[in-house]
């Protein structure tokens, strides 16, 4: 049900053709909406159209489902992938962690001061270590130890828990397990990972060690959607920090920690703010 | 006269109200235009609407003046400040310099490889030093020595030269003279300056010396439109570089030189690409 | 008392003259020390010498006081300001806060994972709000409400508490009170503040509002030692983040929050690591 | 022959042991030198010692060769790799180019204003295109067209020219030919290349296209010493620039151009200033 002034966000992509903005903005105007923010992009190579529109004053106070139904014919005519959301409805997020606390703390703290349009609903870990941090922020913490033998079964239990809790988005906050393709495909473009390198440099394990041994002068971190292929999913956000010969491997880990938590937090903020459209192996980020 | 596919850019600002995007995009659609890039912003404090739209396929091949006439009633209804330009028509630029070559070289070189939608039509200097650089790039170079006694008269001669050459935009590439209010007001929001500090820190003269004496850890450069008040005009672009106690005043000058030329060049690129709307003392930059 | 391999750090500044490095490194060599890190700087304008040397293998296992006594004649000959510390001895820190949690959380968390060579001994606040955060990290939290009438008396109580606890360094983690000159002069170059602007731009109150109204394209944060003059102390560290016309005042506050906590944390890390020498109104930072 | 105040720079690396700084600084003091800048680093993993010392006041006015002879016994005792140079003696540089002008222009311009401690002695190209730019700066320009059939012979001619001109350092300023191992091994750690990616990401050809297709949010450039293995040499300097989905492949090329020229110029400045020691596959850069 709509609140007094819900705020609506449309994300849409389709083959480009003349008139798309006119048709969409007319649809909004007809229903008494006032566009607050519109960002449009046409991929000049693939001739694909991308748009994010945020509007207010949905005066007719339509429920979301009716608004979606009203828009459906237009979207079908365009051959579009699309979503319409009310800004009041928060993204329901589960965070997966192992033993490192920095990314989890960053997300819980930012969420506590309202930086994300998210509810952190629950935390899943393969280790009990971070339970007290979860408790401090009052978030349910579930431990699922993972071994070679129980991986498939554990994932099924986790999936059941996620569905029970109506989870929309999963954040891997330095979760040290690789999810199975079966799991990944249940949440397409809805599992956000942080990799502690400047992808595509240093894929796989021990990227800081790899960076240290190669003698790079800059290290990075990359947040991306998880796909079946390890570290190959669409990149959402990256950032870097300068290092020098004075930095030991421990210094790289320390400096990288700051990148990881900031980059992952930014990715979640963009995702929860409905600012990302996946475009094949890439993303369009309306920032 | 329109070329085969001219490309059109509209910049517009007016008080916000519902339906603006719908009306503008419908106007474009009616004339067979295909929107390539649309960026819209509403100032939530002042309730002001800003838009930049670029479109192609102006199939009707209207001359620019007719397109402008056709749009005028809409703009008047909105109470808008606006401009419509064809991308094929380059901004006619005059560069003012004194003795430093770095900003001039940067602009001439970038222009020579087509980075700006500009024609550098002429160069004006109060010193003859940079004449050979101008000659290398084949740009007319005019020397107007300035003294206390002849400033007013010199400005009148310069203005005459600018008008003769149908100059649209003036770039002060480390020009070491202060233009009179009379001159400035002839080119509102069309004179681009580079100040060698991170404004509003270190206004006025010798900003590197001021920065050195204050012991800052970062220095900057600022490109802004010139207004009557020194170093107070709307800021277009800024950038910074890190310094340390090891840097002498000469090092600050050296590091700042790189900032100055890059920041000024970026400002000119944004301006020539019709990506800036002045909003009182600030700018909206559609980058 | 020295541990097995204490690690020693010398910070020293004096008028420059030939032979200083030879004399100092010979002093270390004589006592069986092995230099791990030596960074030396001569101010070419003021002809002042600055050095930081870290060495290990203080095999003779001298107590610190004896090592200091042994070095004193050399320092007096040079006319030097200097300090010698064992790396094992942590800086004893008191943090002053008001209601904002971001800087305090950052410091407590980093301290908990061992990033600082510090003990956070106690927290002082003029508000009770952050008590539970302090409790989570197990740090004593003292509330001293401050009003116009009790400021002098409160400061005396605070100073007594600091002395009781042998506090070496005070961190103002967005503490919203101005300390009196009397207080400040008790801890010269040992009170670290974070100012939420790129000093010297936007001194005083509401720097984000000032930045918003000026229309800058970059905002910053500055950590500095506190002196009697507000926001004029020697700068330790600064950093910046890019903003645009899309950013509201709230966005500036949000983006600035990240700068403040990172810049303050870095300043404390440098200070606790004995990497800073104050040089008049400036700092020499051996990073 | 020494000038009145030559300035001397020592670069040295050897296995670490106590007393190295004391011995070296004593050597300098004995000869009346005053240390202006000393930076020392010990690799804690490999226990290797690195030092750069710059001193003035070589009052005895020794010729360089005598100073080197005097130092040799010390260096041999340490088992060191080392060099001693007078700052007055400029590095003799040859620049190799193909058709892109941006890196060459950057180097010629910076050299013309005295930013490098270098003489740009000559330019070698496999195309005639940049001859007029060379002429503007008055640098001899030699064209050696390269084909599959004449590569070996051409390299021999180029080597002869380099030797005739007593060239010390070669800069590949977007030179689009791969040098043979034979050639490379003649100038170990003295050929500086610029690669237009953030190595080790996107080795080989078309790195901007690779970056565009992978959808990274940041691109980079890397300057490194050339070794036999393509793009694998010790990295001197890297820098990055942020990109977004709005950037076309042409935009990446344009943005990358600025990185390439700045990163290559910085590498040459560090190299000519005797600030780099190669440490296996890595570099120690005293900046």
What DSSP letter does each residue of B39-106 carry, written as one string? EEEEETTTTEEEEEEEEE--TT---HHHHHHHHHHHHHHHT-EEEEEETTSPEEEEEEE-S--HHHHH
Q: Judge: D115–B254 Cβ closer than 8 Å, yes or no.
A: yes
pLDDT at D89: 87
User: Does pLDDT of A2 surpass 70?
Assistant: no
Distance from CA of B205 to the nearest CA of A (A): 33
Kindly report, residue by residue over C214-229, the tens digit of the pLDDT.
999 999 999 999 999 9
Q: Taking CB atoms and an 8 Å cut-off, how many pairs form between chains B and C?
A: 89
In this complex, the residue of C201, C239, C248 whose CB is nearest that of residue B44 is C248
User: Does pLDDT of D261 surpass 80?
Assistant: yes
Percent of chain D topping pLDDT 70 = 97
Q: Which residues of B touch A32 (CB under 8 A)?
A: 18
In this complex, the residue of D136, D254, D262 whose CB is nearest that of residue B258 is D262
In this complex, the residue of C198, C244, C285 whose CB is nearest that of residue B285 is C244
pLDDT at A60: 52
Which residue numbers of B have CB closer than 8 Å to C's CBs? 41, 43-45, 50, 198-202, 213-218, 220, 234-240, 244-246, 248, 279, 281-285, 287
User: Does pLDDT of D4 surpass 50?
Assistant: no
Q: Which of A49-58, C20-29, D217-226 has the lowest mean pLDDT?
A: A49-58
Distance from CA of C144 to the nearest CA of B (A): 34
Element (H, E) at A224: strand A218-225
Q: Judge: A285–D244 Cβ closer than 8 Å, yes or no.
A: yes
User: Does pLDDT of A236 surpass 70?
Assistant: yes
Q: Give the pair of three-digit tokens for residue D54.
A: 């710059």
Task: Please indicate whether residue A37 is annotated as part of the active site.
Answer: no
Kindly report, residue by residue over D177-203, the tens digit of the pLDDT.
999 999 999 999 999 999 999 999 998
Q: Which residues of B touch A41 (CB under 8 A)?
A: 37
Distance from CA of C133 to the nearest CA of A (A): 9
Work out the average pLDDT over A203-229. Answer: 95
B78, B70 Cβ separation under 8 angstroms: no
Average pLDDT in chain B: 94
Q: Which of A17-26, B172-181, D56-65, D106-115 has the lowest mean pLDDT?
A: D56-65
Q: Judge: C214–B234 Cβ closer than 8 Å, yes or no.
A: no
CA distances from C259 to B1, C206, C218, C220, C243 (A): 51, 16, 12, 7, 13
pTM: 0.96
- How far, in Å, CA of C80 to CA of A165, rounded? 66
Q: Which residues of D touch B102 (CB under 8 A)?
A: 109, 113
Q: Quick check: helix, strand or coil at residue A74?
A: helix
Distance from CA of D146 to the nearest CA of C (A): 46
Residues in contact with D222: Cβ distance below 8 Å, sequence separation at least 6, in sequence order: D194, D195, D197, D198, D199, D235, D237, D238, D263
User: Does pLDDT of C57 surpass 80?
Assistant: no
- Chain B: residue whose CA lies nearest to C224: B216
User: Does pLDDT of C75 surpass 60?
Assistant: yes
- Residue B148: pLDDT band (50, 70, 90) is confident
A272, A116 Cβ separation under 8 angstroms: yes
- Chain B: residue whose CA lies nearest to A25: B22
CATH architecture of C8-86: 2-Layer Sandwich (3.30)
Work out the average pLDDT over D38-47. Answer: 93
Percent of chain B topping pLDDT 90 = 88
Q: Judge: D29–C22 Cβ closer than 8 Å, yes or no.
A: yes
pLDDT at D6: 62
pLDDT at B5: 55
pLDDT at C204: 84
Work out the average pLDDT over B229-255. Answer: 96
Q: How many CB atoms sit inside 10 A of residue A62's CB?
A: 18
pLDDT at A63: 86
- Chain D: residue whose CA lies nearest to C58: D18
Distance from CA of C21 to the nearest CA of D (A): 6
Domain regions of chain C by residue span: 8-86, 91-285
In this complex, the residue of B19, B32, B38 whose CB is nearest that of residue A21 is B38
User: Does pLDDT of C23 surpass 80?
Assistant: yes
Work out the average pLDDT over C67-79. Answer: 97
User: Does pLDDT of A107 surpass 80?
Assistant: yes
Beta-strand relationship, D91-97 and D169-172: parallel
Q: Judge: D217–A237 Cβ closer than 8 Å, yes or no.
A: yes
Distance from CA of B34 to the nearest CA of D (A): 17
pLDDT at C230: 86
Q: Judge: D254–B115 Cβ closer than 8 Å, yes or no.
A: yes
Which residue numbers of A have CB closer than 8 Å to D's CBs? 41, 43-45, 50, 198-202, 213-218, 220, 234-240, 244-246, 248, 279, 281-285, 287
Q: Quick check: helix, strand or coil at residue B170?
A: strand
DSSP string, D203-253: -SS-HHHHHHHHT-SEEEEEEEE--SSTT-SPEEEEEEEE--TT--HHHHH
- Residue B37: pLDDT band (50, 70, 90) is very high
pLDDT at C58: 63
Strands (E), B73-225: 81-86, 91-97, 118-125, 141-143, 169-172, 191-195, 218-225
Q: Taking CB atoms and an 8 Å cut-off, how many pairs form between chains B and D?
A: 17
Q: Give the pair of three-digit tokens for residue D118.
A: 């270098």
pLDDT at D88: 83
User: Does pLDDT of B26 surpass 70?
Assistant: yes
DSSP H helical ranges for D84-214: 102-112, 131-136, 151-164, 181-184, 207-214
Work out the average pLDDT over D236-254. Answer: 97
Higher pLDDT, A261 or C231: A261
Distance from CA of B167 to the nearest CA of C (A): 28
Q: How many CB atoms sit inside 10 A of residue C22's CB?
A: 21
Q: Which residues of C touch A37 (CB under 8 A)?
A: 246
pLDDT at D2: 35
Work out the average pLDDT over A152-157. Answer: 95
Work out the average pLDDT over D122-129. Answer: 98
Q: Quick check: helix, strand or coil at residue A254?
A: helix
Kindly report, residue by residue over B66-122, the tens digit of the pLDDT.
999 999 999 999 999 999 999 888 999 999 999 999 999 999 999 999 999 999 999
- How far, in Å, CA of B240 to CA of C240, rounded? 8
Average pLDDT in chain A: 94
Work out the average pLDDT over C176-193. Answer: 96
Percent of chain A topping pLDDT 70 = 97
In this complex, the residue of B32, B35, B40 whose CB is nearest that of residue A35 is B40
Best mutation target, A7, A27, A34, to test chain B (most B CBs within 10 A): A34
Q: Judge: B200–C216 Cβ closer than 8 Å, yes or no.
A: yes
Distance from CA of B285 to the nearest CA of C (A): 7
Best mutation target, A203, A218, A219, A266, to test chain D (most D CBs within 10 A): A218
Beta-strand relationship, B235-242 and D218-225: unpaired
User: Does pLDDT of A141 surpass 70?
Assistant: yes
In this complex, the chains that touch C, judged by 3 or more CB pairs closer than 8 A, are A, B, D
Q: Judge: B248–C44 Cβ closer than 8 Å, yes or no.
A: yes
- How far, in Å, CA of C272 to CA of A201, rounded? 34
Q: Judge: A115–C254 Cβ closer than 8 Å, yes or no.
A: yes
Element (H, E) at C91: strand C91-97
pLDDT at D5: 55
- Chain D: residue whose CA lies nearest to B262: D258
Q: Judge: C216–B202 Cβ closer than 8 Å, yes or no.
A: no
Q: Which residues of B touch D37 (CB under 8 A)?
A: 246
Work out the average pLDDT over D152-170. Answer: 97
Q: Judge: B25–A22 Cβ closer than 8 Å, yes or no.
A: yes
Work out the average pLDDT over C171-194. Answer: 96
Q: Taking CB atoms and an 8 Å cut-off, how many pairs form between chains A and C?
A: 17
- Chain D: residue whose CA lies nearest to C18: D34
pLDDT at D57: 75
Best mutation target, B5, B14, B20, B22, to test chain A (most A CBs within 10 A): B22
Q: Which residues of A touch B21 (CB under 8 A)?
A: 21, 25, 28-29, 35, 38
C215: left (phi over 0), alpha (psi -120 to 50) or beta: left
CATH classification of B91-285, choosing from 3.40.50.170, 3.10.20.30, 3.40.50.1370, 1.10.10.10? 3.40.50.170
């Amino acid at each position: 049900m709509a609140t007094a002034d819900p705020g609506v966000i449309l994300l849409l992509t389709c083959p480009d053709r003349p008139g798309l903005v006119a048709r969409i903005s007319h649809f909004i105007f007809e229903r008494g909406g006032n566009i607050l923010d519109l960002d449009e992009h046409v991929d000049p190579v693939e001739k694909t159209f991308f748009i994010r529109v945020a509007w207010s004053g949905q005066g007719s106070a339509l429920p979301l489902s009716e608004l979606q139904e009203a828009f459906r014919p237009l979207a079908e005519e365009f051959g579009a992938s699309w979503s319409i959301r009310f800004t009041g409805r928060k993204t329901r997020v589960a965070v997966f962690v192992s033993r490192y606390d920095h990314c989890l703390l960053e997300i819980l703290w930012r969420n506590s001061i309202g930086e994300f349009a998210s509810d952190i609903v629950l935390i899943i870990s393969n280790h009990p270590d971070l339970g007290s941090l979860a408790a401090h922020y009052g978030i349910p913490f579930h431990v699922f130890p993972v071994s070679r033998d129980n991986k498939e079964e554990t994932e099924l239990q986790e999936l059941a828990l996620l569905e029970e809790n109506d989870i929309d988005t999963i954040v891997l906050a330095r979760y040290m397990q690789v999810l199975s393709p079966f799991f990944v495909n249940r949440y397409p473009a809805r599992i956000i990972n942080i990799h502690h390198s400047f992808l595509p440099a240093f894929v796989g394990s021990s990227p800081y060690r790899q960076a240290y041994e190669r003698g790079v002068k800059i290290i990075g971190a990359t947040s991306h959607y998880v796909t079946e292929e390890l570290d190959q999913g669409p990149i959402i956000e990256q950032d870097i920090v300068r290092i020098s010969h004075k930095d030991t491997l421990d210094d790289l880990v320390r400096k990288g920690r700051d990148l990881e938590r900031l980059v992952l937090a930014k990715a979640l903020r963009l995702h929860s703010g409905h600012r990302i459209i996946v475009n094949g192996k890439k993303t369009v980020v309306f920032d």
